[in-house]
Structure 1
Amino acid sequence: MTSSAPHKSILDSPFVLDLFAGPGGLDVAGHVLDIPSLGIEWDKGACLTRYAAGLDTLHADVSAVRRDAFESLPPEINVLAGGPPCQTYSVAGHGAGREALKRVMNYIERLMGGESDETIDESLKTLSDPRTALVLEPLRYAIQATRSLNRQKRPYDVIVLEQVPAVEELWRHYAKVLKETGLPDGTKYEVVVGRLDTEAYGVPQKRSRAVLIARREGLDAPSLPAPTHHSYDAKEWNRKNESDQGTSQHHQTALGDESLQPWRSMGEVLANPVGTHPGRPTPFLVRSNYGSSGIPGRRGVRSDRQPAFTVTGRISRFVVFQYLERNVVYEGPRFSMNEAGMLQSFPADYPWSGTAQAQQVGNAVPPLFGAHLLSAALGLPTPDTDLMAKPWHPATEEQQAKLRSHGCGSKDACTDRCPRAADQVPPPSTMRPRKSEKSTQKKLA
């Protein structure tokens, strides 16, 4: 359920186009807020999840839709949203995007100056990693909207973008040109940019995101969503819990604003039965699969009273230890995809489908966080923490067939118009062998 305040948006009928939509985080948020959306997603597995969830989807390349099929998009779309792939920008990636930030900023200037798509595309071929250029797509869609005859050259009213913290600098450049330069047709926006922690919005997970919210001039100026929960500070938690006494709530209220709710812990979300989720016994400990403080040999450990580590594609490798009695633990079952999704704030029983489901979960926008972003962008009431509390009801086979006919061109299979995984070049950075692995391979050869 949402806040009891009137459900009144700054737009008469908001309709979201979700670029790089993944398995549906932002679209789930739109669904529970009664906001229609259309998602464009490349990955087949993520599309299968979306179809199973009943989400309107195009199985397509975002860039190709802009070039070849923009006029076929619903003209009533007035909200542009997206989280471009972050591999080349994130700390976990190889850094091609971070090195190219200044070049990408130059491309932004050229796009806003009205340079042709053909010239820009030719120049983008010089980037070492083609995915780096995908962060330009939201801006290119915003520009294309002002040229679309199907839309009567009407610009988007609202733009909502989110990415890893490393992209904050780029979002600030987006904000500068949207506000000061404007789109080539003269449309300007009021923009806010910030770095937000998802646990401060009720997501039971420590995750930081760079966020941009823009509203077309003539609408009220935008603002970032106000936090509803305390942020999690690992050092403060460890200092106050050395004796393992007290509750997380007592420690959090001492950290600052008492009007904020305590951040939500893993145990709070997973302990009780919901839908087909039987509930996970507490207390438990979680050991992450990645290193702490950048040291691979030092694995982080958290208890069920803390929020989860940032959920990534490695969530299925996290080891969970259950207690037999005080200070005696045994290795229990690892997180199911249902549980991993719940740590991302997806409703229980969300129908994860296709391949690489853990990666789908890790790549997704946390739906509860997405609901806060959309609500702030559209001037809606602050969402309640229990917005995603009810189990998700998957689509029927008939509904899935209809969605897939629209998204792929066939009710039961992909078609020639669907992108192929083999065309994704270069491969994701997580698939590239590390230096140590390369050395081992050479020795074995």
Structure 2
Amino acid sequence: MLKAISLFTGIGGLDFGFEAAGFSTAVAVEMDAVACRELRRNRDWPLLADDIHKFSSQQILDTGGLVPGEADVLIGGPPCQPFSKSGYWAGGDAARLSDPRSSTLEAYLRVLRDCRPKTFLLENVHGLAFKGKDEGLKFLLEGIQSINKGLGTNYIPYCKKLNAAEYGVPQSRERVFLIGSRDGKPFRFPERTHCTTDDVEGIDSGLMAYKTAWDALGDLPADAGGDELRVKGKWGELLPSIPEGNNYLWHTGRGGGMPLFGWRTRYWSFLLKLKKDQPSWTIQAQPGPAIGPFHWRNRMLSGRELCRLQTFPDNITFGCSRSEVQKLVGNAVPSLLAEVLALEIKRQLLGVPADAALKLLPPSRGVAPPPEPVYPVPEKYHHLLGDHADHPGEGRGRGAAVRQIEQDLF
């Protein structure tokens, strides 16, 4: 099998996809103790279980039984909170690059330089490449140029933002990918294969309809989990009054429910519920008690359901708490998307024939059942009835005012 070096492995979302495409993880590096324990539970990959900055590149090579230039691919998604959506609003470009958490980018480049893999793939939040706030991406591109200048390599990175739903994942999830080869071979990102049913042009051109939450979860028990999956907290009893596929906006002056909130005054994922015949929204790693997406049966998603929406192999098991599973799964890359990209790396950059059939593509389960019933708003929420003000508009909310004050002061 082709050999991969895996950095910031997490629970192995990228690795599972590369595994399905015919790669073997020669060595993995991960610092989270729970992730390491669950990795060992599921795979026997050689694992360096600590902060990547504590391991030299030579230690990584030795653990994988590799020499410089031997690995077929370097993969990893450096965790970069400074470049998340919230990090977009940081006070300045230098502030985000100087954040100690951005040193993961430097660590990835260091391993790329020292191990000289034949190809590489780097995944990150799409905020890394936000227009006008793309200093993280520029840092990576300049670092790769420096590697080429120092070693005589010809890594040419190709960058694109991809939505996993457009490649058969039953979840809408946008991420940025950088892919390149040591000898400068050109790389073309695969064209999308799936689209919304409203995209008439796409459907007519041969694209398949998005995989849905029903495709992912339809064969699993709908009432799984019992009290462990009950939505608790202040808002849990309001969830049954929201139709599937909706969120708190249902209970605003512009929705179809009761006016309990102002329009766009909460996070989109507040009381957000899956719709059977649509892909899931992005699975979050550490959601609050009222943050979805929730199951259409008005409960939290089980660990197995979370894995299905991330297209993990069905043989993955967990020995940790549900909240720990959510964190591991929510931080991962959908494995099917990784499989799609791994197959293209094999074909285009490594010159290795690859099967056309995708191993992690969810089956189609036909027409989804009708929506679940919607229940009346419990009386305990009736005191919220009223004429609530809408959000004043982009750049005019409370957060924008705070940012403007900080900018004026500093």
Residue matched to 2:337: 369
CA RMSD of aligned residues (A): 3.4
Deviation at 1:164, TM superposition (A): 0.5
Residue from 142, 153, 163 that aligns with 2:112: 142
TM-score, normalised by the number of residues in structure 1? 0.62
User: Matches of 2:74 and 2:248 in 1, distance apart?
Assistant: 35
Deviation at 1:64, TM superposition (A): 1.3
User: Matches of 2:278 and 2:155 in 1, distance apart?
Assistant: 39
Q: Cα deviation per residue 1:34-61 (whole Å; 9 max; x = unaligned)? A: 2111221110111122111114132121
Residue from 34, 50, 60 that aligns with 1:45: 34
Comparing 159-168 with 53-62, greater Cα deviation is found at 53-62
Residue matched to 1:327: none
Q: Is the 8 A contact 2:82 2:88 kept in 1?
A: yes
Distance 1:91 1:229, change over 3 A: same
User: 1:377 corresponds to which letter in structure 2?
Assistant: I
Distance 1:205 1:139, change over 3 A: same
Comparing 182-191 with 165-174, greater Cα deviation is found at 165-174
Residue matched to 1:278: 221
Residue matched to 1:77: 71
Q: Cα deviation per residue 1:381-425 (whole Å; 9 max; x = unaligned)? A: 4754552559xxxxxxxxxxxxxxxxxxxxxxxxxxxxxxxxxxx
List aligned pairs for 1:74-153, cutoff 5 A.
74-75=65-66, 76-93=70-87, 99-100=92-93, 104=97, 127=98, 129-145=99-115
**Is residue 64 from structure 1 mapped to residue 47 from structure 2 by the alignment?**
no
Q: Is the 8 A contact 1:44 1:354 kept in 2?
A: no
Distance 1:174 1:313, change over 3 A: closer
Q: Is the 8 A contact 1:271 1:280 kept in 2?
A: no
Residue matched to 2:128: 167
List aligned pairs for 1:229-244, cutoff 5 A.
229-230=194-195
Q: Is the 8 A contact 2:274 2:294 kept in 1?
A: no
Residue matched to 1:25: 13
User: Matches of 1:163 and 1:293 in 2, distance apart?
Assistant: 31
Residue matched to 2:266: 296
User: Matches of 2:21 and 2:263 in 1, distance apart?
Assistant: 38
Q: Is the 8 A contact 1:192 1:213 kept in 2?
A: yes
Residue matched to 2:369: none
Residue matched to 2:173: 207
User: Matches of 2:42 and 2:262 in 1, distance apart?
Assistant: 35
Gaps of 5+ in 1: 1-12, 105-126, 146-154, 233-248, 323-330, 391-433, 435-445
Q: Is the 8 A contact 1:22 1:360 kept in 2?
A: yes
User: Matches of 1:41 and 1:207 in 2, distance apart?
Assistant: 23
Deviation at 1:306, TM superposition (A): 1.3
List aligned pairs for 1:279-428, cutoff 5 A.
285=244, 295-296=265-266, 299=270, 300-314=272-286, 318=292, 320=294, 322=296, 332-354=298-320, 356-379=324-347, 381=354, 384-385=357-358, 387=360, 389=362
Distance 1:137 1:252, change over 3 A: same
Residue matched to 2:213: 266
Distance 1:386 1:33, change over 3 A: closer
**Is residue 36 from structure 1 mapped to residue 36 from structure 2 by the alignment?**
no
User: Matches of 1:260 and 1:87 in 2, distance apart?
Assistant: 34
Q: Is the 8 A contact 1:376 1:382 kept in 2?
A: no
SS in 2 for 1:303: coil
Q: Cα deviation per residue 1:82-133 (whole Å; 9 max; x = unaligned)? A: 100032211145865x8446884xxxxxxxxxxxxxxxxxxxxxx3x32111
**Is residue 156 from structure 1 mapped to residue 117 from structure 2 by the alignment?**
yes
Distance 1:354 1:188, change over 3 A: same
Distance 1:41 1:29, change over 3 A: same
User: Matches of 2:302 and 2:77 in 1, distance apart?
Assistant: 25
Residue from 154, 157, 182 that aligns with 1:216: 182
Identity over aligned pairs, percent = 24
Q: Is the 8 A contact 1:66 1:144 kept in 2?
A: no
User: Matches of 1:253 and 1:314 in 2, distance apart?
Assistant: 36
User: 1:88 corresponds to which letter in structure 2?
Assistant: P
User: Matches of 1:288 and 1:23 in 2, distance apart?
Assistant: 29
Deviation at 1:288, TM superposition (A): 6.2
Distance 1:17 1:101, change over 3 A: farther
User: 2:206 corresponds to which letter in structure 1?
Assistant: S
User: Matches of 1:158 and 1:135 in 2, distance apart?
Assistant: 17
User: 1:265 corresponds to which letter in structure 2?
Assistant: T
SS in 2 for 1:163: strand
Q: Is the 8 A contact 2:216 2:362 kept in 1?
A: no
Deviation at 1:332, TM superposition (A): 3.5
User: Matches of 1:143 and 1:166 in 2, distance apart?
Assistant: 25
Distance 1:383 1:278, change over 3 A: farther
Deviation at 1:179, TM superposition (A): 5.4
User: 1:132 corresponds to which letter in structure 2?
Assistant: S
Deviation at 1:134, TM superposition (A): 0.9
Q: Is the 8 A contact 1:266 1:343 kept in 2?
A: yes
Q: Cα deviation per residue 1:239-276 (whole Å; 9 max; x = unaligned)? A: xxxxxxxxxx4x3445565321111111121112xxxx
User: 2:52 corresponds to which letter in structure 1?
Assistant: V
Deviation at 1:31, TM superposition (A): 2.1
User: Matches of 2:247 and 2:80 in 1, distance apart?
Assistant: 21
Gaps of 5+ in 2: 225-242, 250-260, 348-352, 364-398, 400-410
User: Matches of 2:88 and 2:96 in 1, distance apart?
Assistant: 17
TM-score, normalised by the number of residues in structure 2? 0.67
**Structure 1 or 2: more strand by fraction:** 1
**Is residue 190 from structure 1 mapped to residue 156 from structure 2 by the alignment?**
yes
Q: Is the 8 A contact 2:117 2:182 kept in 1?
A: yes
User: 2:312 corresponds to which letter in structure 1?
Assistant: F
Distance 1:259 1:388, change over 3 A: closer
User: Matches of 2:333 and 2:56 in 1, distance apart?
Assistant: 22
